[in-house]
Amino acid sequence: MHKLVLLMTLGLAIAAYFYVDGQQYMSVDFFQGLYQQQPQLTALIYFAAYILVAGLSLPGAAVLTIIGGMIFGFWVGLMLASFASSIGATMAFFVSRFILRDWVQAKFARYLGAINQGIKKQGAFYLFSLRLIPLFPFWVINLVMGLTPIRGITFYWVSQLGMLAGTAVFVNAGVSLGAVEEFSTAGILTPNLIMSFALLAAFPFIARHLMGALQRRRGLMGHRRPKHFDTNLLVIGAGSAGLVSAYIAATVKAKVMLVEKASMGGDCLNTGCVPSKALIRAAKSVNDIQTASQFGVQVGSPTVDFTKVMARVQEVIADIEPHDSIERFTNLGVDCVQGNARLLSPWQVDIDGRVVSAEKIIVATGASPIVPAIPGIDEVEPLTSENLWQLQQLPERLLIMGGGAIGCELAQAFQRLGAQVTLVEGMSQLLPREDTDIVARLTQQLTDEGVRVLTDYSVTSFNQQASGHNAVLSRSAANQVNVEFDRVLVAVGRRANTAEFGLQELGIELNADGTVAVDRYLGTSCPTIFACGDVAGPYQLTHAAGHQAWFAGVNALFGQFKKFAVDYKVMPQTIYTDPQLARVGLNQREAAEQGIEVEVTEYDLADLDRAITDGNANGVVKVLTAPGSDRILGATILGPEAGELLTEFVTAMKFNLGLNKILATIHSYPTLSEANKYVAGAWKRKHVPERLLVWIEKYYRWKRGKH
């Protein structure tokens, strides 16, 4: 009821303002005439009018500020405008908070968590930045800040301080205008007035520079910059992100040091992409033999020597290892150091007792598997994506926790190699971020191959039985399942490696998910330190890490001249199951969550000649476009070599090429890539100009002499 009364009061006040043409009172003539008769009353009316305009978010605040300088002079005008604008802004802030905050916070709770946390930590600094650099109208800032947890008293004093410089510039312009005796060319083009308007135009750029300097100084507070540096760039972590960063620095002839405590190449080479794809390839060969009979080729049942399979995995790692080796990067000009690195200051790193100074530092320490604290888990010696590759004996019964990319890939691979796999996922479907219809097809494929898929279940405990290990899976207290297993593989996610590197001690901000908080230039809260790869997120993909590393490296080395904002709009992802699942851009689930209207076009691989001849026609190409347009917003492919097929859509989205361009591109026959052309053709058929075709049909009938 109180909110309704306030809304009605505000509505009436705004309506009255426009009804009586309140703008006429926001003029120089009105205040000048009044000022000559009653200066003090004029100041009081001006002050009240300014509060009213700012408090009701009405147009005219900027004009009033200039008028203040013209009528009252610089110091009085500045005092009146500064306090009135801050009081009015705070009124608008509290109105917004009283009427809208509870509803907005409840409605958009899932999206506002990170924002609220950021406001609680650094709300004053964010507000000061917005006040000093006028990127958005001040009335918008007043209303939006009212929806956040920032305290009212903080909002007031930060607004008072942050708007002071801008207010002074506008008041000064008013003073200069007031000094013009006649509005002729000669009268206007005075040095003072020209300087005032030049300052008015330059203020946003000056303020941005000052805020940047203030932020850098804030991040370096309490630390003394060394007089000289041992190296230009020091990179911590020799995974994909660290290697690319170091390579870029060496290429431009900067002195760069790369520190790695374990093996060069990081997770991707040693425990991630490379070994998992080698294992998947071995499993695919088993499946090829088992399905050979459908092509008329009769062979016996395959025998898997798991020890040799794992030996080949290590051989593949060894074959690729030289690409990421110390020798190669040393020859490229990188100073490779084996050891444990710990940040001591914004410029200094301790490497096993040796202190090295660097002008800029890049943190690329990667991520590690999460092992949840489930009762009894230590007793079953869980496998993760890190220690899995030391396994020498194929588990007869394998339990996999986590139905994400790693869980699905390894579930299918181990099932094909001869294990009986149970795959458990706590959400309602495997791969929770992907479209339900696509995941349903993939889940059916895994089930058909013998994988036992349990969704909506979570592992609540492990215990020992006479027959081996046992896991208790629960949906609810009354709905439990016992699963016996020989080994358990935990694949429930990965956590950024931020501990033991001195990040927290240096005050570097972390996100709620534990990743290092970075800006769009991949800089951290400390201006000399950057972060990229899995430790920074938001993706945990090798190619994403390499993509980020270019931006981190270039911005660290050349940021004082030009900075480049990282772009994630076209980030492909591939899950290497069989069939593969590859995606770029939006899918239907994300479009619905974000309220984005899309048009969906699909092409089923069951109709593709090459897929049929290969006996591998299980899949679909799904493309999302803007309604009525061929502009591609996202593409999802389920099918053989989907990761390879996706590249055409990645290229199209990167360079703003629509489905018409893909349709006009010649694709070899018979190839899987024809599916991309056919889905473009399916879209085209939905957008044929029906009315035009009617007239064309009549034209050809006329040419045949038919009436």
Question: Residue 184's pLDDT band (boundaries 50, 70, 90)?
Answer: very low
Question: Residue 687's pLDDT band (boundaries 50, 70, 90)?
Answer: confident
For residue 200, the number of C-alpha atoms closer than 13 Å in the C-beta half-sphere is 18
Residue 12 pLDDT > 70: no
Of the two residues 3 and 404, the one the predictor is more confident about is: 404
Secondary-structure breakdown of the chain: helix, strand, coil percentages, each rounded to the nearest 5: 50, 15, 30
Domain 378-493: CATH architecture, name and number where available:
3-Layer(bba) Sandwich (3.50)
- H/E element, 517: none
Residue 506 pLDDT > 60: yes
| 544-603: pLDDT as tens digits | 999 999 999 999 999 989 999 998 989 999 999 999 999 999 999 999 998 899 999 999
| 647-668: pLDDT as tens digits | 999 999 999 999 999 999 999 9
Alpha-carbon distance of 251 to 233, in angstroms, equals: 13
Alpha-carbon distance of 45 to 33, in angstroms, equals: 13
pLDDT at 189: 47
Question: Cis bond leading into 226, ω under 30°?
Answer: no
Question: Residue 185's pLDDT band (boundaries 50, 70, 90)?
Answer: very low
Residue 467 pLDDT > 60: yes
Q: From residue 542, how far is each of 268, 369, 503, 574 by CA, in Å? A: 7, 16, 23, 11
Residues in the chain: 707
Tokens of 296: 């008329």
Determine the CATH number of domain 573-690.
Answer: 3.30.390.30
Alpha-carbon distance of 142 to 108, in angstroms, equals: 19
Residue 481 pLDDT > 70: yes
List all residues 6 or more positions away from 178 whose beta carbon is below 8 Å from its beta carbon: 69, 70, 71
Token pair 């791969």 in the structure block, residue: 431
Residue 338 three-state SS? strand
pLDDT at 580: 98
- Percent of the chain predicted with pLDDT > 90: 61
pLDDT at 704: 84
Mean pLDDT throughout 256-280? 95
| 51-88: pLDDT as tens digits | 888 877 777 777 888 888 888 888 888 898 889 888 98
CB 459 within 8 A of CB 374: yes
pLDDT at 85: 87
pLDDT at 39: 79
Torsion of CA 244, 246, 250, 255, to 10 degrees: 170
Task: Tell me if domain 231-264+325-368+496-558 and domain 378-493 are identical in fold.
Answer: yes
CB 636 within 8 A of CB 435: yes
Mean pLDDT throughout 265-288? 95
Give pairs for 316-319: CB < 8 Å, separation 24+: 316/274, 316/275, 316/278, 317/269, 317/270, 317/274, 317/275, 317/278
pLDDT at 486: 94
Question: Residue 188's pLDDT band (boundaries 50, 70, 90)?
Answer: very low
Question: Residue 192's pLDDT band (boundaries 50, 70, 90)?
Answer: low
Alpha-carbon distance of 423 to 476, in angstroms, equals: 18
Question: Residue 268's pLDDT band (boundaries 50, 70, 90)?
Answer: very high
Alpha-carbon distance of 215 to 128, in angstroms, equals: 11
Q: Is 705 left (phi over 0), alpha (psi -120 to 50) or beta?
A: left
- H/E element, 392: none
| 108-135: pLDDT as tens digits | 555 455 556 656 666 677 777 777 666 6
Alpha-carbon distance of 189 to 195, in angstroms, equals: 10
pLDDT at 74: 85
pLDDT at 196: 57
Mean pLDDT throughout 499-505? 92
Average pLDDT of the residues of the chain: 86
pLDDT at 54: 82
Domain boundaries in the chain?
Answer: 2-217, 231-264+325-368+496-558, 378-493, 573-690
Mean pLDDT throughout 278-283? 97
Residue 431 pLDDT > 80: yes
Amino acid at 533: G
Question: Residue 151's pLDDT band (boundaries 50, 70, 90)?
Answer: confident
Q: Name which of 80-84, 229-233, 537-541, 691-695 the model is least confident about.
A: 691-695
Which residues, in sequence order, are bridge partners of residue 683?
none
Residue 210 pLDDT > 70: no
| 282-318: pLDDT as tens digits | 999 999 999 999 999 998 889 999 999 999 999 999 9
Give pairs for 554-561: CB < 8 Å, separation 24+: 554/248, 555/521, 555/522, 555/523, 555/530, 556/233, 556/245, 556/360, 556/361, 556/362, 556/530, 557/232, 557/233, 557/248, 557/249, 557/252, 557/254, 557/360, 559/521, 559/523
List all residues 6 or more positions away from 290 whose beta carbon is below 8 Å from its beta carbon: 301, 302
pLDDT at 132: 67
Measured N-to-C along each axis, helices 191-219 and 109-132 cross at an angle, to the nearest 10 degrees, of 130
Q: Count CB-CB contacts under 10 A for residue 198.
A: 10
Alpha-carbon distance of 287 to 581, in angstroms, equals: 18
Pick the CATH number of 231-264+325-368+496-558 from 3.40.50.300, 3.50.50.60, 3.30.9.10, 3.40.640.10: 3.50.50.60
Amino acid at 439: V
Mean pLDDT throughout 469-483? 85
Mean pLDDT throughout 517-528? 93
Residue 186 pLDDT > 50: no
Which residues, in sequence order, are bridge partners of residue 490?
401
